[in-house]
Structure 1
Amino acid sequence: MTVPAAEIRPAGDRALLLIPADPTRAAQWADALRREPPAGVVDVLAAAETVLVQLGGDPERARASVSRWVESALRADAFPAAAPAAADAVAIPVRYDGPDLPGVAQALGMSPERLVAAHTAASWRCAFMGFAPGFGYLRAPEWVVDLPRRQTPRTRVPAGSVAVAAGYAAVYPRATPGGWHVIGTADAVLFDAHRDPPALIAAGRPVRFVAVTP
């Protein structure tokens, strides 16, 4: 079924996949659904361009409820980005000593200092989780840097590496291969299986990068 500016597809018998016509609004949709879930919604999972809505109870009633909610919200244009709450923001101290910092700054036609200032001033929010446990894809309206990934990925990116690519920022929770541009280092533990919750960052959570002296 379709509604204006959106497509709703079944995803099994107890979930729906919402596809915004403007894929950059997927995170806004997910935030709005979490704040005011329609009847029958038990979980909301955001991806880069879609939102998966898990249903409970009577699935037919839940599907109808979600469809009505989306239609109503679209008519009212009720999918604003949630304002970052300073009290809820995860503050991540960063040493901007990454090996790619000078090259990224040069590619963007700015000084490393200006790049660091832009990165720390941006209002980051976790759009969705993926790639590895604790890896949050962060976006910010002020961050207009859409730098492609590295042409040659690294076989090992150390845990705590702060990196940017394709309009996103992230912190590597553990050492893995990776193709993002590493601009800094953080000591924060992004994922700990013995912690509750295990992930430091969750989808929808605001994040603030704080520059510290190397």
Structure 2
Amino acid sequence: MSHSFTEIDIKPLGDSALIVQLGEGITPSIHQKVRALSTILEAQPFKGFIESVPAFHNITVYYDPVAVQQNQSKYGERTDRLLTSFEAVCQEINKLLEQVDERKEAEARLIEIPVLYGGEYGPDLEAVAAFHHVSAEEVIQIHTQNECLVYMIGFAPGFPFMGGMDERIATPRRENPRLAIAPGSVGIAGKQTGVYPLETPGGWQIIGRTPLELFRPDSFPPTLLQAGDRVRFVSMSSEEYKAYKERKR
């Protein structure tokens, strides 16, 4: 069973969650709606709401079905039967969706991420350059040219999935993923770019590394980047990289 609000679909995910589909594709306009609904849910939580998890073009909403049923009288008009928890939460979501288009987008943060490109820290830089028949220097120039939008945090704590990278350097993932990629590694996968916050396996094309820590468990929030942030990559020298690392010790 699915419910719609204009072009938006709401579908169940098990018995204690649902997915609000706000469109298709990876676009800033759809992402703005995702951010708006997520913010509204946090500010106006319904009875039984647990949390929401925003993604590229949808939001997963987790709820306590028992709490929702106990609050049944607050949902819609009285009928001969009680609404299911899913139906009741759908009504609440539909009410909140009416505010999405009216909500003004908050000014996005712009965060600069310094990157040491190539060499041992960017082992796939030359492969990316060869794939596009350009020089490694041109790949760096293109990668630092645009501001990228953080669409979501996922895969690993603090890992930002970013769109807006120039398609001239869009490159498929590696055929053979690496078993371990160092923290701070900057990669390309298709039209996206991202930064590995922790050492994990991965198949992205690694073109450089940043000395910044993206996952900071002792801080609040524990991640440097948040969905909605804009990122500008800045090329740094090996000397600057080493100096930054020395300062952090």
Task: Calculate the TM-score normalised by the size of structure 2.
Answer: 0.70
Cα separation, partners in 2 of 1:114 and 1:134, compared to 1, 3 Å: same
Query: Which of 8, 27, 37 is 2:10 aligned to?
Result: 8
- Partner Cα separation in structure 1 for residue 237 and residue 17 of structure 2: 47
> Which structure is larger by alpha-carbon Rg, 1 or 2?
2
- Partner Cα separation in structure 2 for residue 9 and residue 139 of structure 1: 26
- Partner Cα separation in structure 2 for residue 153 and residue 20 of structure 1: 32
Q: Which moved more, 1:6-15 or 1:16-25?
A: 6-15
Amino acid at match of 2:146: A
Whether 1:153 and 2:158 are equivalent positions in the alignment is: no
Cα separation, partners in 2 of 1:129 and 1:49, compared to 1, 3 Å: same
Cα separation, partners in 2 of 1:44 and 1:101, compared to 1, 3 Å: same
Deviation at 1:51, TM superposition (A): 1.6
What secondary structure is seen at the aligned counterpart in 2 of 1:170? strand
Tell me the residue number matched to 1:66. Answer: 93
Deviation at 1:105, TM superposition (A): 1.7
Deviation at 1:163, TM superposition (A): 0.6
- Partner Cα separation in structure 1 for residue 234 and residue 106 of structure 2: 19
Amino acid at match of 1:50: N
Structure 2 gap ranges (5+) = 76-87, 239-249
RMSD in angstroms over aligned alpha carbons?
3.0
- Partner Cα separation in structure 1 for residue 106 and residue 22 of structure 2: 20
Whether 1:32 and 2:36 are equivalent positions in the alignment is: yes
**1:1-214 pair list within 5 angstroms:** 1-11=3-13, 15-25=17-27, 26-34=30-38, 36-37=40-41, 39-40=44-45, 43-54=51-62, 60=75, 63-70=90-97, 85=108, 88-97=109-118, 98-140=122-164, 142-144=165-167, 145-214=169-238
- Partner Cα separation in structure 1 for residue 159 and residue 32 of structure 2: 19
Deviation at 1:16, TM superposition (A): 3.4
Deviation at 1:121, TM superposition (A): 2.0
Structure 1 gap ranges (5+) = none
- Partner Cα separation in structure 2 for residue 67 and residue 9 of structure 1: 12
What secondary structure is seen at the aligned counterpart in 2 of 1:195? coil
Cα separation, partners in 2 of 1:68 and 1:109, compared to 1, 3 Å: farther
Task: Calculate the TM-score normalised by the size of structure 1.
Answer: 0.80
Whether the aligned pair in 1 keeps the contact of 2:150 and 2:227 (CA below 8 Å) is yes
Q: Which moved more, 1:189-198 or 1:39-48?
A: 39-48
Deviation at 1:183, TM superposition (A): 0.4
Whether the aligned pair in 1 keeps the contact of 2:159 and 2:196 (CA below 8 Å) is yes
- Partner Cα separation in structure 1 for residue 221 and residue 32 of structure 2: 23
Amino acid at match of 2:9: E
Whether the aligned pair in 1 keeps the contact of 2:26 and 2:163 (CA below 8 Å) is no
What secondary structure is seen at the aligned counterpart in 2 of 1:203? coil
Deviation at 1:110, TM superposition (A): 2.6
Q: Which moved more, 1:2-11 or 1:198-207?
A: 2-11
Aligned length: 207
Name the structure where helix makes up a greater proportion of residues: 2
- Partner Cα separation in structure 1 for residue 40 and residue 206 of structure 2: 37
Counting aligned pairs with the same residue, the percent is 31
Deviation at 1:23, TM superposition (A): 3.0
